Homo-oligomer: A and B are copies of this chain.
Amino acid sequence: MRREIYLRRTDLENGLDAYFRELKKAGFFSDDVENVLTVESLGRVTAMPIYAKRNVPHYTSAAMDGIALRSSSTFGASEASPIVLEKGKDFTFVNTGDPIPDGFDAVLMIEKVRVIDRDKVMIFEPVFPTNDIRPIGEDVTVGEMIVTRYHKIEHYDIPLFLAAGVFEIPVIRKMKALVIPTGDEIVPPNDVISGGKIPETNGSMVKAFLVENDVEADVHSVVADNPERLEKILKRSVETYDMVFTIAGSSAGSKDYTYRVIGKLGKLVVHGMNIKPGKPVILSVMGRKPVIGLPGFPVSLDIVLQKVVKSLILRKYKTFEKIELRTSAVSSVRMSSSISEKEYVRGALAQVDGKVIFSPLKRGAANLISLTRHDALLTIEKGKAVVDEGEKVIVDYNGTDLEKKILVVGSHDILIDVLADLVKTRDHEIVLSSSSVGSMGGIIAISKGYAHLAGTHLFDPETGEYNIPYVKKFMTSYILVNMSYRIQGLMLRKGNPKNIRGLEDLTRDDVIFVNRQKASGTRVLLDYLLRKEGINPSEIKGYCTEEISHMNVAVKVKEGLADAGMGIESAARVMDLDFIPMVKERYDLLVEKSFFESKIFKEIMEILKSEEFKRVAERIGGYDLSKSGTVIKS
Contacts and interface: CB of A to CB of B under 8 A. Distances in A.
Interface string A322-366: 001000000000000110111110100000000000000001111
Given A159-B202, A205-B158, A99 B276 contact: no
B344 A205 contact: no
Interface string A363-391: 11111101100000000001000000000
Interface in A311-328: 324
A542 to B, nearest CB: 20
Contacts of A189: 162-163, 167
Nearest to A274: B341
A167 B190 contact: yes
B205 A115 contact: no
Contact of A276 (B163, B208, B341): B341
Nearest to A167: B190
B275 A204 contact: no
A195 B159 contact: no
Residue of A1, A65, A156, A363 with most partner-chain B CB within 10 A: A1
Interface stretch (A28-36, A238-246, A293-301, A493-501): A293-301
A115 B2 CA distance: 12
A93 interface: yes
Given A165-B190, A274-B382, 10 more contacts: A39-B207, A97-B198, A155-B209, A160-B201, A277-B363, A278-B344, A298-B365, A298-B366, A299-B371, A300-B365
A79 interface: no
A342 B11 contact: yes
A298 B159 contact: yes
A1 B64 CA distance: 12
What are the 10 A-B residue pairs with the smallest beta carbon separation, nearest first?
Answer: A297-B365, A159-B201, A155-B208, A277-B365, A1-B93, A162-B189, A162-B201, A155-B209, A42-B208, A300-B365
Contacts of A366: 297-299
A632 interface: no
Given A59-B196, A189-B163, A199-B163, A204 B276 contact: no
A23 to B, nearest CB: 22
A99 B196 CA distance: 5
B93 A371 contact: no
A324 B324 CA distance: 8
A212 interface: yes
A275 B341 CA distance: 5
A279 interface: yes
Nearest to A370: B299
Interface in A286-315: 295-300, 302-303, 305, 307
A436 interface: no
Contacts of A163: 189, 199, 201
Contact of A195 (B39, B93, B99, B278): B99
A305 B324 CA distance: 18
A424 interface: no
Nearest to A254: B95
B340 A274 contact: yes
Interface in A81-113: 93, 95-99, 110
Interface in A578-602: none
Contacts of A59: 195-196
Interface string A228-240: 0000000000000
Interface string A11-44: 1100000000000000000000000001100110
20 contacts: A1-B115, A39-B208, A42-B208, A42-B211, A42-B212, A54-B193, A155-B205, A155-B305, A156-B302, A159-B201, A163-B199, A165-B190, A274-B382, A275-B342, A276-B344, A277-B363, A295-B365, A299-B364, A299-B371, A303-B344
A346 B299 contact: yes
Contacts of A38: 204
Contacts of A502: none
A89 B552 CA distance: 89
A523 interface: no
A58 interface: yes
A364 to B, nearest CB: 7
